């Protein structure tokens, strides 16, 4: 018993000394920090799902109020660098990109094949994949896919009509998720999903599962920040095996069908297949599935969330909604229908979408990894291996850059005002070589969805909906908590 007590005392002492020394990392460098606490450093509440979404925003504000251009934080004992000054953010994302080209992703390509994609790749692999994927999202390719998006829009229109006829309020999160599932399923995988007619369809089922944060996901997110080594050691995967098997199986079936039947379509998968032929490449089905999967994840989640937040705000701001509807109807009357050119001519629609992703950036925090020792200024050096987090929500809700930041005001992005926005304070799609490659596609399907709904209906908040919105702290991206219901009135 005495030996056990002594052993326990020594162990506790060693842990205490380890944490005390670790929590002096930034102080020794002379970099401003927020006081950490045992055992989770500065992210204790985040680790228990009580504020992960807003945690980095509050830390950003705390450091800025102290006049810091950047600060040091801790995830457990792991040092994290949080840049505040837009000029430093510019250097990290663009000017000195060679020092910060990695996102610090940790995965086993053989055991997690869908994770081997453009978002997670580093170095040469990332560069080659980026070059190969870039032509996929050209204006010409977007125009080709526009008609596929419109076809999915017809199903959305039919469903909205059915809801209105039955006087059912719109579960806007679910409706927009079904629309983007159909769009991405068709454009990325060449699969007709019919999410509105069959909410339990396989594609909707596994798409929902891939994006619903499980307990395992929460654990992995915590451990990824604290120790990527533990993630590999414990073999905790982001995507469940049945989800991986489903998406790889879909790609295998579609590719085999197209090659054996000599079928072609104007979609993302066809572009990948054609590129493989042109370059005489030998990519595996798993590699093709990984690229299609990241397109699905990025295009589905971001666009459905942006549309949900936009409609939520428009329901609470009838004057803005009326002005936008007028522009939509005038464009449709001018062009005879909703067209690719018409979508891009709608200036106010662009302002509304930009303000939505200003107030509600889907990726509220960007990650980077310092891959070589980097000189911050004359006094400070970032060491190789340092994790970097950029608070996009912090920047977008910063009073200095966006006065009255909680106000939904599309005029911030008018022709007159958008030129006044300080560079690197508005970063919904990132910036630099690793910016969002699919932003054109995401904006296109977002605008189509908004035009279809607002061109036919006035929307109002259901009595159960509160303003301002409460965020879901467990979600991987910025999302509203619970069901968001809206009521409609036919135009």
pLDDT in tens, 392-447: 999 999 999 999 999 999 999 999 999 999 999 999 999 999 999 999 999 999 99
Specify the 3-state DSSP secondary structure of 348: helix
Assess contact for 484 and 173: CB atoms under 8 A. Answer: yes
Residue 137 predicted with pLDDT over 80: yes
CA 206 to chain centre: 18
Return d(Cα 161, Cα 170) in angstroms, integer: 11
| High-pLDDT (> 90) share of the chain, % | 62
List the domains of the chain with CATH numbers.
Answer: 2-490 (1.10.630.10)
Return d(Cα 63, Cα 86) in angstroms, integer: 14
Residues 139-149, mean pLDDT to the nearest whole number: 90
Residue 324 predicted with pLDDT over 80: yes
Q: In sequence order, what E strands does 21-77 have?
A: 70-75
Q: How far is CA 120 from CA 109, 115, 204, 430, 434, in A?
A: 10, 7, 24, 15, 11
Return d(Cα 192, Cα 381) in angstroms, integer: 52
Q: In sequence order, what E strands does 412-467 have?
A: 457-461
Please report the pLDDT score of residue 175 as a whole number: 96
Please report the pLDDT score of residue 386 as a whole number: 96
Please report the pLDDT score of residue 188 as a whole number: 82
176/4: higher pLDDT: 176
User: Per-residue confidence at 101, pLDDT binned at 50, 70, 90?
Assistant: very high
Residue 30 predicted with pLDDT over 70: yes
φ, ψ of residue 478 in degrees (nearest 5): -70, 125
Please report the pLDDT score of residue 90 as a whole number: 98
Q: pLDDT digit string (tens) for 418-428?
A: 999 999 999 99
Assess contact for 368 and 103: CB atoms under 8 A. Answer: yes
Question: Token pair for residue 352?
Answer: 């509304």
User: Per-residue confidence at 286, pLDDT binned at 50, 70, 90?
Assistant: very high
Please report the pLDDT score of residue 226 as a whole number: 63
Please report the pLDDT score of residue 49 as a whole number: 57
Report the 10 Å Cβ neighbour count for 277: 10
Please report the pLDDT score of residue 231 as a whole number: 62
DSSP H or E segment with residue 79: strand 78-83
Q: Which of 305, 318, 316, 352 is nearest to 451 (CA)?
A: 352
Largest CA distance in the chain: 88
Please report the pLDDT score of residue 224 as a whole number: 66
Say which residue the tokens 């809700």 belong to.
397
Please report the pLDDT score of residue 109 as a whole number: 84
Assess contact for 455 and 281: CB atoms under 8 A. Answer: no
Q: pLDDT digit string (tens) for 221-274?
A: 666 666 666 666 666 667 888 989 999 999 999 999 998 999 888 888 888 888
Question: Token pair for residue 262?
Answer: 């000599």
Residue 108 predicted with pLDDT over 60: yes
Report yes or no on whether pTM surpasses 0.85: yes
Question: Token pair for residue 389?
Answer: 């987090």
φ, ψ of residue 405 in degrees (nearest 5): -65, -25
Q: pLDDT digit string (tens) for 349-386?
A: 999 999 999 999 999 999 999 999 999 998 899 999 99
Report the 10 Å Cβ neighbour count for 322: 12
């Amino acid at each position: 018993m005495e030996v056990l007590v002594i052993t326990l005392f020594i162990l506790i002492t060693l842990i205490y000394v380890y944490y005390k020394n670790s929590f002096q990392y930034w102080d020794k460098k002379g970099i401003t920090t927020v006081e950490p606490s045992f055992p989770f450093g500065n992210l204790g509440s985040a680790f228990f799902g009580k504020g992960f979404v807003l945690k980095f925003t509050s830390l950003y504000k705390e450091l800025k109020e102290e006049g810091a251009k950047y600060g040091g934080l801790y995830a457990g004992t792991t040092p994290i660098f949080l840049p505040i000054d837009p000029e430093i953010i510019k250097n990290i994302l663009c000017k000195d990109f060679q020092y910060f080209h990695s996102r610090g992703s940790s995965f086993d390509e053989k055991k997690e094949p869908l994770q081997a994609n453009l978002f997670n790749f580093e170095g040469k692999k990332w560069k080659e994949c980026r070059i190969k994927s870039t032509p996929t999202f050209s204006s010409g390719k977007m125009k080709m896919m526009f008609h596929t998006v419109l076809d999915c829009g017809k199903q959305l229109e039919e469903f909205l009509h059915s809801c209105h006829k039955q006087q059912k309020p719109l579960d806007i999160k679910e409706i927009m998720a079904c629309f983007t599932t159909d769009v991405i399923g068709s454009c990325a995988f060449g699969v007709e999903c019919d999410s509105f007619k069959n909410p339990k369809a396989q594609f909707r089922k596994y798409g929902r599962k891939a994006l619903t944060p499980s307990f395992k996901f929460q654990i992995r997110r915590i451990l990824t920040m604290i120790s990527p080594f533990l993630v590999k050691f414990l073999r905790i995967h982001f995507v469940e095996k049945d989800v991986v098997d489903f998406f790889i199986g879909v790609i295998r079936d579609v590719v085999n069908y197209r090659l054996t039947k000599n079928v072609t379509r104007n979609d993302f998968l066809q572009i990948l297949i054609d590129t493989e032929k042109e370059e005489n490449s030998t990519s595996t089905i798993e590699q093709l599935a990984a690229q299609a999967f990241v397109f699905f994840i990025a295009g589905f989640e971001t666009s459905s969330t942006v549309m949900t937040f936009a409609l939520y705000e428009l329901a609470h701001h009838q004057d803005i909604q009326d002005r936008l509807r007028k522009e939509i109807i005038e464009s449709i009357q001018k062009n005879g229908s909703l067209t690719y050119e018409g979508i891009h001519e709608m200036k106010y629609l662009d302002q509304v979408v930009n303000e939505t992703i200003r107030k509600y950036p889907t990726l509220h925090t960007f990650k980077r990894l310092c891959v070589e020792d980097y000189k911050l200024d004359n006094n400070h050096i970032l060491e190789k291996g340092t994790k970097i987090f950029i608070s996009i929500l912090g920047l977008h809700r910063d009073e200095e850059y966006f006065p009255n930041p909680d106000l939904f005001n599309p005029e911030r992005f008018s022709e007159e005002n958008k030129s006044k926005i300080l560079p690197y304070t508005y970063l919904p799609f990132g910036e630099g070589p690793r910016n969002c490659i699919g932003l054109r596609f995401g904006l296109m399907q977002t605008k189509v969805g908004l035009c279809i709904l607002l061109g036919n209906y006035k929307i109002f908040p259901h009595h159960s909906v509160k303003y301002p919105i409460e965020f879901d702290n467990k979600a991987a991206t910025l999302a509203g908590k619970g069901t968001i219901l809206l009521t409609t009135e036919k135009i």
